[in-house]
Amino acid sequence: MTYGTITPATNAPKQHNNKTAIHLTPEHHLDFLHLVVLLPFIQVVVLYASNFSGLLPVFTGRRLRGLLWYYCIASLVLDLVQLKVLGLGLRHMGDVFFILELLLVGFYLNKKLFTGTGKKANGITILILLVYYLADTFHKAQRRTNLEAAALLHAYFIVILFFAFVKIIKDMEYIHIQRSPFFIFCVGFFIYVSGSCIIMLFDPLLGKEYEAFAGNMWIIFNFLNFLKNILIGYSFTLKNTET
């Protein structure tokens, strides 16, 4: 999922410039100005790269057709919706995406990591999180995506992926770990959820005053999304990929 719009970044230069210019040396000031000029450009590049990077896993995993592939489809659809490529503009599209992410990736990891009671317990945890997300979203009835609840879902993924790394070390299925599709997926998704969890947690708290800064934070989010898509796309090309 890609987040952010191009508009917040237009405010960013003014705000940063006013607040920090006094403390900067002339050289630093020049560098800072460069960054300020480049920032909207970087934002646009990262936003588009992030949105269209979803095409890679959808393409490379087209023959696998597993839970992960459907997750990539959902991610790509949301990205294209956000860019208004598909001409849709659903208010709760983000919420739908996070629910799909929880179900598709959650049950994929559940299948890969757990057996017996652990599998059942994790399955129940996923359902509890789903119920919480829905209840919280309806309760708040806000006009934007429920990012606080989404941050909780990503925190859950951080914990589960930690188990995944322990399992990878324990099982030792691959001599060259970089050849393991599951490890590559875990790396991509772990980096993505680690960064996005904090960004989504703080974004609603920042408020209007820090709108420009929050906009810039989404550059990082989009970059992480880009990285995740590339790594998942790569993992689909490896042998013995199971989705």
Partner 1 sequence: MKVEFLVLLAVVFMLVLAFGIIFFVIMYQRRIIRHQHDIRNINDQKQLELIQASIRGEEDERMRIASELHDDVGATLSSVRLFLHASAKKDADPAIILQSKDLLDDSITKIRNISHKLQPAMLLQLGLYAALQSFTAMISKPGTIAMTYHSQPIPRLHDDVELSVYRILQEFTSNIIRHAGATTIELDTAIIASTLHTTLVHNGQGLTEEDYQQQIYKKGSIGLKNIVNRLKTINATISFGQTAEGKFTITIITPLSIT
What residues line the site for partner 1 (CB under 8 A)?
A: 19-20, 162, 165, 168-169, 172, 175, 177-178, 183, 187, 190-191, 194-195, 197-199, 202, 206, 210, 213, 217, 220
What is the DSSP annotation of 67-93? HHHHHHHHHHHHHHHHTTSS----TTH
Which lies closer to partner 1 via its Cβ, residue 121 or residue 166?
Answer: 166
Q: Tokens in use for 234? A: 């790569």
Comparing CB distances to partner 1, the nearer of 17 and 64 is 17
Burial class (CB in 10 A: 0-12, 13-18, 19+), 126: buried
DSSP, collapsed to helix, strand or coil, labels residue 54 as: coil
Q: How far is the CB of 177 from partner 1 (least distance, A)?
A: 5
- Shortest spacing between CB 162 and partner 1, in angstroms: 7
Here the contacts of 180-183 (C-beta below 8 Å, separation 24 or greater) are 180/238, 181/235, 181/236, 181/238, 181/239, 181/240, 181/241, 181/242, 182/112, 182/235, 182/242
**Smallest gap, in angstroms, from Cβ of residue 113 to partner 1?**
15
Q: Rounded to 10 degrees, what is the CA torsion of 215, 146, 128, 182?
A: -30
Residue 76 or 232: which CB sits closer to partner 1? 232
Closest CB to partner 1 among 130 and 206?
206
Question: Would you say 104 or 199 has its CB closer to partner 1?
Answer: 199
Tell the smallest beta-carbon distance from residue 92 to partner 1 (Å).
Answer: 25
**Minimal distance in Å, beta carbon 194 to partner 1?**
4
